[in-house]
Chains A and B, each alone.
Chain A
Amino acid sequence: DQQVKQNSPSLSVQEGRISILNCDYTNSMFDYFLWYKKYPAEGPTFLISISSIKDKNEDGRFTVFLNKSAKHLSLHIVPSQPGDSAVYFCAAIQGAQKLVFGQGTRLTINP
């Protein structure tokens, strides 16, 4: 039972354009949603989060949108830069800090 799903294994975007990474979830009790970024041979690093009571959170080039009725969230990166090439994991929390991760989306930014 995959509670958090990232249906796109990979995404390729041109430098300077917008990258949109999508995530769907099934558990309406999740309190917070987070995005992590992972480079090869490194651990995931936290990127941005959003509370379930919000619909948007922005941090510099990164914005996360939450649509609770659709059980869908998305991460927008504008403008995309070569250093953004990484695997992005969507994750959700319910209660005491047990993260549930999606499968990840590999983002490639082309020059």
Chain B
Amino acid sequence: NAGVTQTPKFRVLKTGQSMTLLCAQDMNHEYMYWYRQDPGMGLRLIHYSVGEGTTAKGEVPDGYNVSRLKKQNFLLGLESAAPSQTSVYFCASSTLQVPNQPQHFGDGTRLSIL
């Protein structure tokens, strides 16, 4: 059972470069999410999707874009990377409209912007 898979696991970028983080889930979940984790800040929601073809902004969306063209994939893009975007990024997925069903997380992507 793969669950939620994130690629790549590590990446170093220079300021101004662009990249896309890929999240894939094999649990047929409707909801998918992108978080960032910074020291002392917990996990903060960047963007999320309630279904294929839909996306919405979370708590910290600036500087990021997302796309959900297929139900199983959720892409997070950085168009022009900035040092403030150095963080660990987590993708998660969950079932539809069931509050007590937990989100399932990937193992994260550690991104450093120089």
**B-to-A contact residues, CB < 8 Å:** 4, 31, 33, 35, 40-45, 48, 50, 58, 90, 92, 94, 97-100, 102-108
Bound-state CA distance A3–B98 (Å) is: 21
Task: Name the A residues within 8 Å of B106 (CB-CB).
Answer: 43
Contact between A44 and B105, CB atoms less than 8 A apart: yes
Given the known interface contacts A98-B48, A101-B43, A103-B40, the answer about A45 and B100 at a Cβ–Cβ threshold of 8 Å is no
Given the known interface contacts A41-B108, A103-B40, the answer about A98 and B102 at a Cβ–Cβ threshold of 8 Å is no
Task: Name the B residues within 8 Å of A103 (CB-CB).
Answer: 40-42
Contact between B45 and A99, CB atoms less than 8 A apart: yes
Instruction: Type the 1/0 row for A82-100, where 1 means its CB is closer than 8 Å to any CB of B.
Output: 0000000100010111110
Task: Name the B residues within 8 Å of A34 (CB-CB).
Answer: 102
Instruction: Type the 1/0 row for A14-42, where 1 means its CB is closer than 8 Å to any CB of B.
Output: 00000000000000000110101000011
How many Cβ-Cβ contacts under 8 Å join chain A to chain B? Answer: 58
Q: Closest residue to A35 on the B side, CB-wise?
A: B102
Partner of B107, one of A41, A49, A93, A96: A41
Contact between B103 and A101, CB atoms less than 8 A apart: no
Q: Closest residue to B50 on the A side, CB-wise?
A: A96
Partner of A32, one of B42, B99, B104, B105: B99
Number of interface residues of A (CB under 8 A): 26
Task: Name the B residues within 8 Å of A9 (CB-CB).
Answer: 40
Task: Name the B residues within 8 Å of A51 (CB-CB).
Answer: 100
Contact between A43 and B99, CB atoms less than 8 A apart: no
Q: Closest residue to A34 on the B side, CB-wise?
A: B102
CB-defined A-B contacts under 8 Å, sample of 21: A4-B42, A32-B99, A41-B107, A42-B107, A42-B108, A43-B90, A43-B106, A43-B107, A43-B108, A44-B43, A45-B105, A46-B104, A49-B102, A89-B42, A97-B31, A97-B99, A99-B43, A99-B103, A101-B35, A101-B42, A104-B42
Bound-state CA distance A95–B105 (Å) is: 20
Task: Name the B residues within 8 Å of A89 (CB-CB).
Answer: 42-43
Contact between B100 and A101, CB atoms less than 8 A apart: no
Shortest CB-to-CB span from A94 to chain B, Å, is 9
